[in-house]
Structure 1
Amino acid sequence: MVNFSQMLKIREPELLDREDGHWYKTKFDQIYPSISTILSATSSDTKQNSLKSWRENEPAHEYITAQAQDIGTQSHKIIEDYLSKSLSLDEFDLLPIAHFNNLKPYLENISNVTSIEQRMYSDKLKVAGTSDLIAEYDGELSIIDYKTKRKPQVDEYMYEYYLQTTCYAQMFQEVTGRKINQVVILVSSEKNTRQEFIKTCDDYIEPLYERIEKYYLTSLN
């Protein structure tokens, strides 16, 4: 049986400490931006202006952002420990624990874990990133991501995540030769809602390529 986890580990890039987004260095000294950095840089003017306006008009925006990041980091760690069967909730805050318990019914659909927090890259696309989870979801090999939000999400808000996880699927295929057809985004909100978004990668490959091309064309100018 092919050991995908071992194949990924051998090719795992190094995450660099930079202030201009997330960047990765491969074992062959290529340096690539993360897919999240690319998507942020190429998002619509409307989205970028909205974020800028929020920062300008919300005095506590740095605190809110830092708090959200901490909650997300803790929630991810709880899920990682749970999937690794090494979970102890003593070290975590109440809200991340609540997010975990909220998502737990969906976590029961996960089996045959390939890798957790896996760093990957694509020489073809000149991009890198870290996937939350590669495992089977309802029996199908998937890229799985989990998000913690303040309120429930609608499908259109998740579009960037579909591109991001589809990119991880492309990286995975480039390393292993195995195509992943499905991405899964699991969302827990502070309104005590949980949502499951399941998409087919093929629907997002073309717009993903367009965003990456836009990023590199812009950076050349």
Structure 2
Amino acid sequence: MQSLSSMCKKLGRSSRLFVELAPSISFSTSCYFCSQKKKNNSYQEVNQNRYSNLIHSIVSTRISSQTPESLLQEDELLYGPVSKCKTQEQGSGPKVAQNTILLLNPEKRNGSNTITDSIPLKIPLQKNKIPSVTRILQQTMTEKQILILERWKHRMILELGEDGFAKYTSDIFLQGKHFHEVLEAMLSSPEQLKELDEKTISSGYVASVQHVLKDISGVRALESAVHHETLKYLGLMDCVAEYRGKLCVIDWKTSEKPKPFIRNTFDNPLQVVAYVGAINHDANYNFEVQCGLIVVAYKDGSPAHTHFMDSDLCSQYWSKWLLRLEKYTEKEKNQTTENPK
């Protein structure tokens, strides 16, 4: 057996041989490949200008983020130019009512605005084809409002059952009716108050508004009908009186849940301004109203929340009311066209 040292010596000699022969082998190999026929390279067929532009765009995108202008150019390249009608729709502001009827009436403002009769007006409501404020608001609710109402109804039916829910809604209606009767009697004549049931007078709703009644004076109308002669709608107001020296349309509301903010009253502000506008354009009323008041009374007798609406706030809600009125008119027109008599 050969020793380890002798094997290493032989390996060293063979390594030197490989190093010495390497140049000749490399030369012969290179000559061999040079003698071969060149194969076509697929990269050589690529459009070099377009390829360089592609590389430049990739590298530049990594360095700097895209701008809205570059995104718009890419969208136009891929999908075509943006439609002009869509651009106008996206850039349009809030919808404006086509009606230009004012909330106030300058003619009444310049006329008599003092109390001529100590007895409040109480004009009966004449039912005809003219839509009521309540109907207009109900028929023009948003999808969100309808969904909220349907969810509430579904939840109450699950809790109370069909018959229980029917009784609940009936009781709510009767409580509201009795509450309005008490307020009408308290604001008109004590004699009518004596005719009411003691249980009704001492209800939590009545106790809830006691601090509000102290600020009310100069009652002009109670449970009185109003008709906007130009816009063609009518309604039944709860009260027109002075609240802390400001003549207001007053709307009494009942609730089992607190409503400390005016946004909690949903469409009630629209109802109030609809009555304000109607009074100012109804010949039965010789005075002008510029303000509104929403009073939310509570069943447990806790102090009612008052939401005063000055002339500026009423003007804002008046614009919204005009939009709802136009929506109702358009809806009725479409139904008439689809179902002619």
Question: Normalising by the residue count of structure 2, what TM-score does the alignment of the two structures yield?
Answer: 0.55
User: 2:268 maps to what in 1?
Assistant: 161
Counterparts of 1:93 and 1:34 in 2: how far apart (Å)? 32
Give the conservation status (yes or no) of the 8 Å contact 1:71–1:95. no
CA contact under 8 A between 1:151 and 1:189: conserved in structure 2? yes
Contact preservation (8 Å) 1:78, 1:97? no
Moved more, 77-86 or 173-182: 173-182
Q: Is the 2:203–2:299 contact (alpha carbons within 8 Å) kept by the matching residues of 1?
A: no
Which of the residues 60, 63, 81 maps onto 2:185?
A: 81
Residues 33-182 of structure 1 correspond to what in structure 2 (within 5 A)? 33-57=131-155, 58=157, 59=161, 60-86=164-190, 87-88=193-194, 91-93=197-199, 97-153=203-259, 154-175=261-282, 176=285, 178-182=287-291
Q: What is the DSSP-based 3-state SS (H/G/I as helix, E as strand, rest coil) of the residue aligned with 1:151?
A: coil
Q: Secondary structure at the residue paired with 1:75? A: helix
Asked if structure 2 preserves the Cα contact closer than 8 Å seen for 1:13 and 1:121, the reply is: no
Counterpart AA for 1:106: V
Q: 1:183 aligns with which of 256, 275, 292?
A: 292
The separation in 2 between residues aligned to 1:177 and 1:198, in whole angstroms, is 23
Distance in 1 separating the partners of 2:224 and 2:211: 23
Report how far residue 94 of structure 1 moved. 5.3
- The structure with the largest strand share of the pair is 1
Change (3 A) 1:68 1:103: same
Letter in 2 for 1:104: Q
Q: Report if the CA contact (8 A) 1:162-1:204 is conserved.
A: yes
The 1:94/1:74 distance shift into structure 2, 3 A limit, reads: closer
Deviations 1:23-68 (A, max 9, x none): x33xxxxx21110111011111111122223333412322221111
Over 3 Å counting, the alpha-carbon distance change for 1:4 and 1:211 in structure 2 is farther
2:330 counterpart residue number:
217
Shift of 1:203: 1.9
Which structure shows the higher helix fraction? 2
Q: Which residue of 1 aligns with 2:318?
A: 205
Evaluate the alpha carbon distance shift between residue 134 and residue 171 of structure 1 in structure 2; reply closer, same or farther with a 3 A threshold.
Answer: same
Deviation at 1:13, TM superposition (A): 5.9
User: Aligned pairs, how many?
Assistant: 206
Range with greater deviation from structure 2 (200-209 or 57-66): 57-66
Secondary structure, aligned partner of 1:115: strand
- Asked whether the equivalents of residues 13 and 120 of structure 1 are also in contact (C-alpha less than 8 Å), the reply is no
Between structure 1 and structure 2, the one with the greater Rg is 2
Give the aligned CA root-mean-square deviation in angstroms. Answer: 2.5
The answer (yes or no) to whether the contact 1:74–1:92 under 8 Å persists in 2 is no
Partner amino acid, structure 1, of 2:142: S
Q: Distance in 1 between matches of 2:320 and 2:198?
A: 38
- 1:160-190 deviations in Å (ceiling 9; x for gaps): 1111011111111002464311100111123
Unaligned stretches of 5+ residues in structure 1? 16-23, 26-30
- Give the Å deviation of 1:95: 8.5
Structure 2 unaligned runs (5+)? Answer: 1-111, 335-341
Question: Structure 1 residues 13, 88: CA separation in 2 closer, same or farther (over 3 Å shift)?
Answer: closer
